[in-house]
Amino acid sequence: MGKRTEQTRSFVFWDTVGSGANPIAPFQCVSLADASEVSAAAAAGVREAVAGRLVVPTPVGTKLGVTMATRRIVGVTAGGAWNGDEVLVQSGGVAEVMVNAAVAVDAVLSAVARATRTTAQTPLTNLEEMLLPFDPRAALTYQLCLADDPAPVFNSGASLNEFWYPLGVAMAAATAQYDVIPVELMLGPLVG
């Protein structure tokens, strides 16, 4: 077998949901921040709030008849990060990804759900490697952006020329929400 190649890059995380209070967990889908998110981060004092450097949990909404990513996914967080701090993002190779539900091997995944979870809730209670150093007496809320295998409806009148933003292909099956599985990344928009 050949050597596995992974491509990573450092970005700065911006918490778009918790007004800067929440960190992002590892294994989550992220996208580049848009202009309004960059402006909000700069106004909040994030020093490196510049386009192309700031990432947010991938926005999701209805596209091609299903709920999935509405913005290009740039990668998956390889570790956690506090708001305004650097986060290592994997953008090529095989990444560990947290899923929203059971998925089959070879399923094509996209970001499908954003959520917040506290340190007192699963998956954070049983995946200690997800936690950032913090005072264990306090409850901390993390941002999640989970993947699943949506079934887009292509070639309908409404979907012609609509972009679909895949994450990659599941290399192992997942049996439940919050499972972490290897995914071969295939980032970039596809046209429906």
pLDDT digits (tens, 9 = 90+) for 57-78: 999 998 877 888 999 999 999 9
1 assigned to some structural domain: no
Residue 166 falls inside a structural domain: yes
Full residue range of the structural domain in which residue 137 is found: 7-187
17 falls within a domain: yes
Given a contact cutoff of 8 angstroms between Cβ atoms, the answer to whether 165 and 189 are in contact is: yes
Helix (H, G, I), strand (E, B) or coil at 40: helix
Position 132 in a domain? yes
Predicted confidence (pLDDT) at residue 138 exceeds the cutoff of 70? no
What is the reported pTM?
0.88
- Report yes or no on 180 lying in a domain: yes
Number of domains comprising the chain: 1
For residue 169, is it within any domain?
yes
Q: List all residues 6 or more positions away from 84 whose beta carbon is below 8 Å from its beta carbon.
A: 12, 13, 14, 20, 41, 44, 45, 46, 47
Confidence of residue 1 (pLDDT cuts 50, 70, 90): very low
Is residue 192 situated within a structural domain? no
Q: Exposed/middle/buried for 67, CB within 10 Å: 0-12, 13-18, 19+?
A: middle
- The mean per-residue pLDDT over the stretch 109-119 comes to 90
Query: Given this model, what pLDDT does residue 27 score?
Result: 95
Residue 2 lies in a domain: no
